Amino acid sequence: MNIKTIIGIAIAALIIFYGVSVNNSLVEKQERVNQSWAQVENQYQRRSDLIPNLVNTVKGAADFEQKTLTQVTEARSKASSIQVSAEDLNNPQKVQQFQQAQKQLSGALSRLLVTVEKYPELKANQNFQDLQTQLEGTENRISTERQRFNESVQTYNTAIRKFPGSLFASILGFDKKAYFEAEEGASETPEVNFN
């Protein structure tokens, strides 16, 4: 064997070892994204599981607006029907569809909690207070998990775009992941009116 052949084999081996290293690193980052997404879904599921108890507790209040309860139940059903798999994280439209359904459920829950203000006996109900506290805690967990998800997506997306890893990422089929984006109008300051 001549020196050129040995150098060629050594360079090819280095490229292969580097490619394997990049692949393993991207797989690890991709799995971190998938795990983060699972935690987001887990917290949304927790919220969804609390809603039937909340609705049943509220139903016990005399003359409570049935329309509000129906909206919450329908929004929960729609939000629960939209599933996003690990492969769907490459599809921004699918993630946005999931976000929209969750936003509708959040809106219906907000309307329910505002309506409850008219019912002092319901606000004094310990079950209702406990459920409200659990929902508030869950909303905080959802926010935290969405932030962690976006951080893992950023790390992954950066890794597949930086050179020379981007060469291997495109060859090995690693695609950009979608972020969990802020709701439209979230940056606007809400109007407060005390009239």
In the chain, how many domains are there?
Answer: 1
Give the burial string for 96-133 (b: 16+ CB within 10 Å, else e): eebbebbebbbebbebbbebbeebeebeebeebeebbe
User: In this structure, is residue 118 part of a structural domain?
Assistant: yes
Enclosing domain of residue 129: 3-80+88-172
Residue 62: per-residue pLDDT: 54
Q: What percent of the chain has pLDDT over 70?
A: 91
Examine residue 33 and state whether it is found in any structural domain, yes or no: yes
| DSSP string of 57-87, one letter each residue | HHHTSTT--HHHHHHHHHHHHHHHH----TG
Which tens digit of pLDDT belongs to each residue from 126-159? 888 898 899 999 999 999 999 999 999 999 999 9
Which pLDDT does position 63 carry in this prediction?
Answer: 61
Give the Cα separation of 124 and 178 in Å (integer): 43
32-79 pLDDT, tens digit per residue, is: 999 999 999 999 999 999 999 888 888 876 566 788 888 999 999 999
Residue 177 lies in a domain: no
Please give the average per-residue pLDDT across 162-185, as a whole number: 88
CATH of the domain at 110: 1.20.1440.20
